[in-house]
Amino acid sequence: MTDPHQAMLDKICAHARETAILESAQQLLEWDERTYLPPEAGEYRAEQVAYLAGLIHQRHTDPRLGDWLAELAESPLAADPHSEAGCTIRQMRREYEKKTKLPESLVKELTRLSVRGQQVWVLARKNNDFAAFAPILTQTVSLKRQEADALGYEDCRYDALLDFYEPDEKTATIRRVLAALRDDLAPLVQAIADSGRTAPVSILERIYPVAAQEALGKEAAARIGFEFPRGRLDVTHHPFCTSLGPHDTRITTRYDERFFPSGFFSILHEAGHGVYDQGLPSEQFGLPPGRYVSLGIHESQSRMWENMVGRSRVFWEFLFPAAKQAFPDALDGVPLDQFYFAVNDVRPSLIRVEADEATYNLHIIIRFELEQDLLDDNLSVSDLPGAWSDKYRQYLGIEPPHDADGVLQDVHWSAGLMGYFPTYSLGNLYAAQLFRQADADLGGLEKKFARGEFLLLREWLRDKIHAHGQRYAAGELVERITGKPLDHKPLTDYLRDKLTPLYELA
């Protein structure tokens, strides 16, 4: 006779796998919307997606599921939280409780405000009109406070919101690590600005035919271990990666014929996300042991391949001959060192999504500090543009000439995403910490990369991170692998080591 607990767990897993079928169908519709959907098909597509979203929500909040999970929570199957069964029960219970704690009226209001918010934001940004966006943002902040209060928290409201994206992480930890990072990075960025050295970026602004960009990007993605028989690369406006099944991972990019890095590094970044998804246990698709840990860990994979590998000198030692063949006119007579310097251009700039890897985190820290102040009522929405400018002057030494390139530049707040920004910096921090460990474990990666041997890093990541799904929380996982908790030092060391010779800093 089957153990009744096991029988109940089987029922839960079957329920979750069925939900995953609906979710992946919804994601396929969304992927299509962002790649191939004809312009006039949007309205019906929105109906399709909303219908599926309703069904999925019903399944997630199905009271039977709550009963089953409550019964198993104290069973021997849940005893080891890192086992397959223990992880499944813990994570599904957590998700169920979260979804059922929020009153339906609040969920509906948040969804409505996010749709309306994004429409208003697009116009406000276009017209450089913060006043038009301010009332929506005020309402958003108020609803996010209600949401945090409904979910509950120990220390601060921000914790409750952060938990959506970075489960088990605490605001206080991130605050401490990002403040230390800020104190290291601000003077480094200032020294670079004062160095008088500028990267020869004009090399990258020559003509790079799109077909050759696609071919080289695909080659690089395959080299780092993105499996094309289980994936695709397509074109979109805002690059993303999505997985529509255990063997169907789609990455996207955009090409700019007059700016090589735009397409190429987006491909490497998204391929890094894709390699993670492809490394998750496929037989656990739709169940917690087959899901990614957190946005920060996901971003650590993309940033590692994009920056620590893709912007390294040894990477280009390997790929530059192929790049010269792909772009014989643009790269005619260009030495490797000049090209390497050009792809590592560091300069304080106003726009987060265009920022280099050294200044990027300062953009995040500014947003992280401001959104805490908004939630805690230490800053009013009307004072936000002024506070934004002050922080840009203080941390980056520049000030936006107007709100469109300042406080209005990101979609996140208009879409109700608060507590999301720090996951980008967590990605960079984890990437540096993990990369340092991989380099030590694998006996030095530079010589191997120069020969085009990248798969050993992918295998290391699969073994240490991908294979575990959600068995360990992000911080726990990183500490298990590196022996240390989240730390800013590996990232500042990495940036200093790389940028000191390039900018001839003392």
* CB of 426 vs Zn ion, minimal distance in Å: 12
Q: Which residue lies nearer to Zn ion by CB, 88 or 253?
A: 253
Read off φ and ψ for residue 227, nearest 5 degrees: -95, 105
- The residue annotated as part of the active site, out of 147, 169, 214, 270, is 270
Residues contributing to the site for Zn ion (CB under 5 A): 302
**Is the CB of residue 169 less than 8 Å from the CB of residue 158?**
no
Least distance in Å: CB of 273 to Zn ion? 6
> Residue 152 — left, alpha, or beta (φ > 0 → left; ψ -120 to 50 → alpha)?
left
Write the DSSP string, 273-331. Answer: HHHHHHHS-GGGTTSGGGS---HHHHHHHHHIIIIIITTSHHHHHHHHHHHHHH-TTTT
CA distance 335 to 393: 36
Report the candidate in 269, 321, 266 with the shortest Cα–Cα distance to residue 298.
269
Sign of the CA dihedral running 234, 238, 240, 245: negative
* Buried b or exposed e, range 29-40, using 16+ CB within 10 angstroms: bbbebbeeeeee
User: 270 an active-site residue?
Assistant: yes
Nearer to Zn ion, 19 or 302 (CB): 302
Q: Which residue is at the shortest CB distance from Zn ion?
A: 302
- What the block records as the tokens of 464 is 């240490």
| Minimum distance from residue 35 beta carbon to Zn ion (Å) | 17
- Judged by beta carbon, residue 147 or residue 306, the one nearer Zn ion is 306
Looking at the Cβ atoms of 88 and 428, the one nearer to Zn ion is 428
CA nearest to 260, candidates 330, 353, 196:
330
Q: Do 216 and 233 form a contact (C-beta atoms < 8 A)?
A: no
Instruction: Identify whether the C-beta of residue 274 lies closer than 8 Å to the C-beta of residue 231.
Output: yes
Question: Is there a contact between 199 and 357 (Cβ–Cβ < 8 Å)?
Answer: no
Q: Which is nearer to Zn ion, 423 or 470 (CB)?
A: 423
Minimal distance, residue 239 CB to Zn ion, in Å: 8
- Nearest-approach distance from CB 251 to Zn ion, in angstroms: 11
Q: Are 387 and 369 in contact (CB under 8 A)?
A: no
* Closest to Zn ion by CB, 297 or 326: 297
Min CB(304)–Zn ion separation in Å: 11
CB 430, CB 150: distance < 8 Å: no
Nearer to Zn ion, 68 or 276 (CB): 276
Closest separation between CB of residue 269 and Zn ion, Å?
A: 6
Active site residues: 270
